[in-house]
Structure 1
Amino acid sequence: MSRIAEWTWRLEDIDGRPVPGGGEVFPTQSDAETWIGESWRGLRSAGVESAHLFADGERVYGPLSLRPAD
């Protein structure tokens, strides 16, 4: 039986330092991406500039800017 990956976000401020939060664990990439899509405005208000997506501790992509497109 194969193990299900754990998907997490690492949130960073403008200087690339970790920002508390984003400790949620998601069962799928889709769930993780839905969460960031629904939460980015609140995260920006909390000082988050970017996010990196991880699967089982391995970076999948990032940094993903949380600034709105101009």
Structure 2
Amino acid sequence: MGSFGGMEILIIGLAILLFFGAKRIPELARGLGQGMKEFKKASNEIKKELEEGQKEGFDSGTKSEEKEQQKQ
């Protein structure tokens, strides 16, 4: 089992063309592109929130340590 060769890709492409038709393929590609765009946007937002949470956790951790040192 390896990667797809040229003939396999051609057969898959023809099957998709026959199954969906020439008019629907651009619509499907557009929808797929929009879906990928939304997924990337959501994953970037999650990464940003995680990074902000880590910064806040780090900042609050250093403030706690400073307060403890002042008490001593």
TM bin, normalised by shorter chain, reads: under 0.3
- Give the structure with the larger strand fraction: 1
- Give the structure with the larger helix fraction: 2
| Higher relative contact order (Cα pairs below 8 Å, separated by 6+ residues) | 1
Q: TM-score of the superposition, structure 1-length normalised?
A: 0.25
Q: TM-score of the superposition, structure 2-length normalised?
A: 0.25
